[in-house]
Structure 1
Amino acid sequence: MKTSLLYGIVADESSKTRVRCVFCGVYIPKANKCIEQHTNGTRHKENIELMSENGINCNNDVLYCKPCKRTLNEDESVTKHIDGDDHANWMTAMEDLVDGEFISLVPYLSGEKDEVFCEVCNCSVECTPLNIEEHVNDFNHRANVCEKLKPLNGIFAVENNDEVWCKICNLYLENTVKSILEHIDDDEQHMDWFAEIEDLIDGQDISIESYLSNEHESNAYCNKCHVEIGCNVLSIEEHISTEMHLS
């Protein structure tokens, strides 16, 4: 009988005929067939997955939510808790804070780490909204993000250190963190180019990384056909419609 915390099944002290699933917050008849049916069911498996995605773990026979820093009530299932305002608001706020900042919440939520790691600053940050907000708004972090994004956006240094050059837009920008990040995030021409090119190469096994990171490279590369293609909409459209690429 799967009456173990591995499956979230524990004895019900108030009854000899049923057991309780800690993960799902339900009672199950104390019969092997019923327990097997529940632990193999879609709902139970989804709750286990949701726990690892939402920072919920099982200590002894109770559920504990790391983000909310509290123990769940006996009748509070995983889904009921994560749909609650406190947990949902925490997740939304944190996901908004780390979006595009090279910080992953996954190790923290899965229980591997008690902190989050900032890839661009090579440091750990205590996983609270306030600490992460302070970190991502810090000038050093913004500068590190800027340096990380330059070769991903075709932006290069020029002899005049007061400016940088955007290869995509053929435009010179003020060489400041604010100017570069505003161009990447808000310039319509820059964003439209990426949207159109990325839509074209999606699922086509065509790489534009060398084009973006090498100032003098003019081609994309088709890994399927092993040929270079001009890194522009017309050339890529023509290539993906060729017999060689379609075959």
Structure 2
Amino acid sequence: MKTNLLFGIIANSKTRVRCVFCGVYIPKANKCIDQHINGTKHKENIDLMSENGISFHNDADILYCKPCDIYLPEHESVTKHIETDSHANWGAAMQDLVEGEFIRLNDYLSSKSDNAFCEVCQSEILCLLPNIEEHVNTLSHRGNIAERLKPLNGIFNCENDDEVWCKVCDGYITNSVSYILEHIDEDSQHMEWFMEIEDLIEDQDISLEKYLSNEFEKSAYCKKCNVDVICNVQSLEQHIHSESHINQLSVIELL
């Protein structure tokens, strides 16, 4: 008789059951079973399943890995499978493809769908490596990525449609998808500005959102102090080291 299928516990013999998720055998006693399914390792394996496209087929008492398209052998636990070269290589290849592309894999990895979802294109993609690669390289996707990144990088349209203006660098860029993305990803001045400012405001609860998204805005916003701060290194440093800001941080830490 099967026991606690929801938790991957199945009958094995008269004296013990097997946890399919963890690949271990447990004495066939309610106390032992409850102790196992409430344990940290078992709960971690359930989380890992939903993060790695692994599901339990209770009609066959077996685990199935969607990315690898295989049924796991009886002796292979969730963690053991995730560490295999085939699964790890798939994960690395997929992560490399979707990083920075606004593509969500959540529903695919939790076995709710066979598709990934592209947020910038508002479309589903059959979640196979060749399909994802094809999608991220389409002109429409690259264009949508550029439009999504412009207000996050202080880049604004000009009256002259041939150019856009980068507020961060105070310079003009040819208004094409390739030039805009190249500027964001590879321009040393642009990248150095972000690295310096982001390092400075880390853990300070200071937002650059309105500065970067508004062409005429001159200030960042300190959420701790509820004040605007001119968005340059000198002004931000002065504010961060000011008595009022330090006191606000101290109050929040005490809470």
| TM-score, length basis structure 1 | 0.95
Matches within 5 A, 1:27-106: 27-60=25-58, 61-106=61-106
Counterpart of 2:202, as a letter, is D
Matches within 5 A, 1:50-199: 50-60=48-58, 61-199=61-199
Counterpart of 1:188, as a letter, is S
Q: Deviations over 1:161-215 (max 9, x none)?
A: 1111111011111111111101100111111111111122222221111110111
Structure 1 residue 55 displacement after superposition: 0.6
Q: Which residue of 2 aligns with 1:16?
A: 14
In structure 2, C-alpha distance between the alignment counterparts of 1:234 and 1:111, rounded to whole Å: 50
Structure 1 residue 232 displacement after superposition: 0.9
In structure 1, C-alpha distance between the alignment counterparts of 2:85 and 2:236, rounded to whole Å: 46
In structure 1, C-alpha distance between the alignment counterparts of 2:199 and 2:40, rounded to whole Å: 34
Structure 1 residue 237 displacement after superposition: 1.0
In structure 2, C-alpha distance between the alignment counterparts of 1:77 and 1:129, rounded to whole Å: 25
RMSD in angstroms over aligned alpha carbons? 1.3
Structure 1 residue 56 displacement after superposition: 0.5
Q: Which residue of 1 aligns with 2:24?
A: 26
Structure 1 residue 100 displacement after superposition: 0.4
In structure 2, C-alpha distance between the alignment counterparts of 1:228 and 1:79, rounded to whole Å: 48
In structure 1, C-alpha distance between the alignment counterparts of 2:41 and 2:217, rounded to whole Å: 51
In structure 2, C-alpha distance between the alignment counterparts of 1:65 and 1:35, rounded to whole Å: 25
Structure 1 residue 37 displacement after superposition: 2.5
Once the two structures are overlaid, the 10-residue window that deviates more, 156-165 or 93-102, is 156-165
In structure 2, C-alpha distance between the alignment counterparts of 1:73 and 1:134, rounded to whole Å: 33
In structure 2, C-alpha distance between the alignment counterparts of 1:245 and 1:111, rounded to whole Å: 46
Matches within 5 A, 1:198-213: 198-213=198-213
In structure 2, C-alpha distance between the alignment counterparts of 1:111 and 1:203, rounded to whole Å: 36
Q: Deviations over 1:46-94 (max 9, x none)?
A: 1111001001111112111111112111111001111111111111111
Quick check: 1:4 aligned with 2:4? yes
Q: What SS class does the counterpart of residue 6 from structure 1 fall into?
A: helix
Aligned residue pair count = 244
In structure 2, C-alpha distance between the alignment counterparts of 1:81 and 1:226, rounded to whole Å: 49
Structure 1 residue 39 displacement after superposition: 1.7
Structure 1 residue 243 displacement after superposition: 1.6
In structure 1, C-alpha distance between the alignment counterparts of 2:63 and 2:174, rounded to whole Å: 52
Once the two structures are overlaid, the 10-residue window that deviates more, 37-46 or 221-230, is 37-46
In structure 2, C-alpha distance between the alignment counterparts of 1:3 and 1:193, rounded to whole Å: 59
Task: Give the ranges of 4+ consecutive aligned residues of structure 1 lying more than 3 Å apart after TM superposition.
Answer: none
Structure 1 residue 33 displacement after superposition: 2.8
